[in-house]
């Protein structure tokens, strides 16, 4: 985010002082940081194990495809949710879908068959991706332009730090007894739901959203405005072509990891959790530096190429230990 001349000349020590933040920024940041710690527990214990557990309990390729696709369907419906939130209090739209989804994920502790696993995780993926626009609205309202980028970066770094630590702990536990995976889902789901509940304690500043309360811009005319923006549509078309192979490969990964490379729960926790999270921390600093020196579209092109390299590394791996390059590229591109 750009700042005006006065703010950019402020000493680093002063800009980094929590006490110097505007009151709403500071209160929001402290509460969201607590939520981030709990989300890191959830992400570290539960998320890396979902696709591996699905395949290991016998879920078919078709079922895995349906399950993994639900996250993208949820993101699509999130557009409608965000539009609806413009005329209502936005916080329930940001809190309740992921809270319910993460709480349901805890039910995996008691699931044995692939059918129930498919249902629980599909609902989780759907609900957990509905709140994106509502969350973004709150971030824009409660964080001032001068501080938003730095504060949100700190939040994400906290998530990956906690996630890396908890994934490592989970790996140690799973290496002793793989049946512990059920309890990891239970604890992770509880922590994830608690994260949403804590985030819900943030008081949304109404000033920036007040003109929208009661009447939102019509949805279809809004889409027509986007459609008339030819450069943006070209950009989105190119981005779609870049993302399409990734989406096609999403359901294939767990099959490859389990059936071909025979990755167990402990290895999945280390490789898909800890390594990815640790590298992501460095990735945040890497991309921040590159974006200061190079055009953002050029950096985005590098990200796309790096993600393509991730699939090359996955394809070339013949043992679980050879998946480290894929995990490193995952962490860099995730950041």
d(CA 226, CA 259): 44
Count other Cβ atoms within 10 Å, centred on residue 100.
17
pLDDT (0 to 100) of residue 210: 43
Q: Which two tokens stand for residue 143?
A: 């964080």
pTM: 0.85
Tokens 């001349």 belong to residue: 5
Burial class (CB in 10 A: 0-12, 13-18, 19+), 1: exposed
Distances (CA, A) of 298 to 215, 236, 292, 303, 304: 39, 15, 12, 9, 10
pLDDT (0 to 100) of residue 78: 85
Digits of tens for pLDDT over the chain (335 positions)? 334 444 433 433 444 578 889 999 999 999 999 999 999 999 999 999 999 999 999 999 999 999 999 999 998 888 888 777 777 889 999 999 999 999 999 999 998 899 999 999 999 999 999 999 899 989 999 999 989 988 998 999 999 999 999 999 999 999 999 999 999 999 999 999 999 999 999 999 865 544 444 455 566 776 777 788 899 899 888 888 888 888 888 888 999 999 999 999 999 999 999 999 999 999 998 998 898 899 988 998 999 899 889 999 999 999 999 999 999 999 999 98
Contact 133, 82 (CB under 8 A): yes
CATH number of 17-334: 1.20.1250.20
- Domain extent listing, the chain: 17-334
């Amino acid at each position: 985010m750009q700042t005006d001349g006065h703010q950019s000349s402020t000493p680093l020590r002063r800009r980094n002082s929590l006490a110097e933040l505007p009151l709403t920024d500071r209160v929001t940041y402290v509460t969201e940081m607590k939520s981030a710690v709990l989300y890191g527990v959830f992400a570290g214990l539960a998320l890396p194990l979902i696709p591996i557990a699905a395949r290991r309990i016998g879920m078919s390729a078709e079922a895995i495809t349906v399950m993994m696709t639900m996250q993208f369907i949820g993101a699509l419906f999130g557009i409608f949710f965000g539009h609806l939130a413009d005329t209502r209090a936005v916080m329930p739209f940001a809190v309740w879908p992921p809270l319910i989804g993460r709480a349901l994920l805890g039910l995996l502790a008691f699931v044995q068959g692939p059918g129930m696993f498919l249902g629980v995780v599909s609902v989780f993926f759907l609900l957990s991706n509905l709140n994106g626009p509502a969350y973004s609205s709150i971030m824009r309202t409660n964080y001032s332009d001068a501080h938003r980028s730095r504060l949100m970066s700190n939040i994400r770094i906290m998530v990956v730090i906690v996630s890396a630590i908890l994934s490592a702990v989970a790996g140690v536990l799973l290496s002793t007894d793989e049946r512990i995976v059920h309890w990891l889902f239970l604890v992770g789901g509880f922590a994830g739901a608690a994260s949403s509940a804590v985030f819900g304690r943030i008081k949304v500043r109404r000033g920036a959203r007040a003109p929208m309360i009661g009447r939102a811009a019509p949805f279809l005319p809004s889409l027509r405005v986007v459609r008339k923006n030819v450069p943006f549509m070209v950009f989105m078309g190119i981005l779609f072509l870049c993302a399409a192979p990734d989406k096609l490969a999403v359901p294939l990964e767990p099959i490859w990891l389990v059936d071909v490379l025979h990755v167990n729960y402990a290895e999945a926790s280390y490789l898909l959790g800890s390594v990815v999270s640790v590298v992501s921390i460095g990735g945040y600093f890497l991309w921040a530096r590159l974006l200061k020196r190079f055009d953002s579209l050029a950096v985005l092109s590098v990200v796309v190429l790096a993600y393509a390299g991730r699939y090359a590394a996955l394809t070339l791996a013949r043992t679980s230990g050879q998946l480290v390059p894929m995990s490193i590229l995952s962490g860099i591109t995730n950041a």
